[in-house]
Amino acid sequence: EVDLVESGGGLVKPGGSLRISCVASGFTFSKAWMSWVRQAPGKGLEWVGRIKTKSDGGTTDYAAPAKGRFTISRDDSKNTLYLQMNSLKTEDTAVYYCITTLGYWGQGTLVTVSS
């Protein structure tokens, strides 16, 4: 059974940093392109970025709001996806989901940016 479990969310002050994680199981993580998607309270879905497999170059792509502040990485030995978020703004407050191109979603982790 496929499972994606996000963790590391919480309350952080504007300008601060946070790293959230997503542990995957039930599929060959190293062969999956992985993405982060977020949803602000009461709003729609927003694509944050993705990372390809190492065999496809391991490259990353980001949406404009994330470029230069967020970094997606992966540790295939730990079946774990990461999202490092720096210079956080109040508008980054959202539930962050990790997803695979196989169609699976985690339950999300809430990141709140507030003073």
> Which residues make up the interface to other proteins (CB under 8 A)?
35, 37, 44-47, 50, 61-64, 97, 99, 101, 103-108
CB of 58 to other proteins, least distance (A): 14
Smallest separation (angstroms) from other proteins to the CB of 41: 12
The smaller minimum CB distance to other proteins, of residues 47 and 76, is found at 47
* Contact predicate 112/95, CB 8 Å: no
Confirm if 60 and 49 have CB atoms less than 8 A apart.
yes
Please, what is the minimum distance in Å from the beta carbon of residue 47 to other proteins?
A: 4
3-class secondary structure for 44-84?
A: CEEEEEEECCHHHCCCEEECCCCCCCEEEEEECCCCEEEEE
Environment class of residue 28 by beta-carbon count within 10 Å: exposed (0-12), middle (13-18) or buried (19+)? exposed
21 versus 47: smaller Cβ distance to other proteins = 47
Residue 89 and residue 96 in contact, taking contact as beta carbons nearer than 8 Å: no
